[in-house]
Structure 1
């Protein structure tokens, strides 16, 4: 069995001994593919530090998170673009629109989003989308940018079945994380109706910790609980979910 965490900030743990333990627990649960999105220029070296320590299981992504679109966003983009050409990456991300924290930067967020989509297309890479309280805005951008080169993962999907189908129709995979294990979130009912061929798994660690560890810091080894829940919802076994979702991740990232 092989599981893939398509979105983890495991690099936030900087203590070497603790990082070794985090990775050890991943391997014990057959989670041996970790895709690492940065959020800004400061987190780029953190991503590559973890990649250097565990080169066989870590796969970097680079982009400017919408919550990091501040006054200096154009300078941040320029620096990240330079880093992209200095390092091997597997996606542009995480990028997108976040209207939960700050609605005033929407025009800048859209510009940054579109700029980074253009990078992905030119590099033939997928995008990893962050969307919070902004589905309509993100979807509008995706419709505007739609072509044969636009593809990727809608990270931390938590929407309706109608929204899921809209993204699937555009060719995107749905990133399913710990929220699917939350009793009253409603995501379980949606995931049960989405074919596994459209799903990838993620933790978004250290955030969105699944049951039974909800309320504590998340880690990539907890992906096993997300996979078990998805298996339960689809009335299949863990091995089947692992095989299909990992194969989906290979199609997205090309590795």
Structure 2
């Protein structure tokens, strides 16, 4: 069984003491690639260095996370774009998007920051890794402006209902990222998932967050993705190997990275 974890924050402080062990466990479990999203300017440099330590295994993204959008966001984006142009080892623009779950204090700034990074996706032909909480209407409105030019991407950490899935799947070059929430006892995703074509799904952990059952409450890591694969195979009534093969093909189509 070989899989790709499309979203793991392995640069986080949670892994500072045992990152090599975490990577070794991931490889032993079947991980072929792990994609590492940025959340702010500081994390970009850390992620580049991490990925250089694990060539052809860890791959960096660049982006300003919506929860990190503050009054200085424009200068942060300016510096990020310099890195994007200069270094350009990045496979995607992410983690970007909108998040109004806690506050709308920086609503206008988030909208502007998101649109500017969507334009980067078009300009540099790199897929988007999109985070969205309590902002799907606003997100969809922006994406529709650039839909024909966008190369595609992932709606990260999808936990919505059938109606929300259907709206996102209208963006036919995008997939939904499915993680540990699928395995939660009260999750409605097992009922929603069979209505979503497997050709539009990618695997993710969002490590160190949202560890799947039976590891819930622990620090998440890429090796735990096997529990997501098992549950997904049950939902689609296919083998775990088929889940891996199909989702790997989706990753290849969107990101141009193969196992």
* TM-score range normalised by the length of the shorter chain: over 0.9
The alpha-carbon distance between structure 1 residues 199 and 80, as it changes in their structure 2 partners (threshold 3 A), is same
Partner of residue 11, structure 2? 11
Match of 2:222 among 220, 223, 238: 220
Per the alignment, residue 75 of structure 1 pairs with: 75
Counterpart in 2 of 1:230? 232
Tell me the number of residue pairs that the alignment of Structure 1 and Structure 2 aligns: 255
CA distance in 2, matches of 1:17, 1:151: 35
Q: 1:33 is paired with a residue of what secondary structure?
A: strand
Match of 2:189 in 1: 187
Cα RMSD after superposing both structures: 1.3
Aligned to 1:241: 243
Shift of residue 145, structure 1, vs aligned partner:
2.4
Q: How does 1:3-42 map to 2 (within 5 A)?
A: 3-13=3-13, 18-42=18-42
- 2-side partners of 1:14 and 1:181: how far apart? 23
CA contact (8 A) 1:67 1:101 kept: no
TM-score, normalised by the number of residues in structure 1: 0.96
Kindly state the Cα deviation for residue 13 of structure 1 after the two structures are TM-superposed: 4.5
Gaps of 5+ in 2: none
1:17-166 equivalences under 5 Å are 18-85=18-85, 86-166=87-167
1:10, 1:220 within 8 Å by CA — same for their partners in 2? no
State the distance in 1 between where 2:29 and 2:200 align: 23
Report runs of 4+ in structure 1 exceeding 4 Å deviation: 13-17
Whole-angstrom distance in 2 between the partners of 1:133 and 1:179: 17
Deviation at 1:229, TM superposition (A): 0.8
**TM-score scaled by length of structure 2:** 0.95
Asked whether the 8 Å contact 1:13–1:19 carries over to 2, the reply is no
Whole-angstrom CA distance in 2 between matches of 1:239 and 1:21:
25
- Structure 1 stretches lacking a partner, 5+ long: none
Secondary structure in structure 1 of the residue aligned to 2:195: coil
Change (3 A) 1:182 1:32: same
How far 1:148 moved relative to its partner? 3.6
Residue 227 of structure 1 deviates from its aligned partner by: 1.0
Cα distance between partner residues in 2 of 1:209 and 1:101? 22
Give the C-alpha shift of residue 87 in structure 1: 3.2
Correspondent of 1:209 among 202, 208, 211: 211
Q: Distance in 2 between matches of 1:148 and 1:160?
A: 27
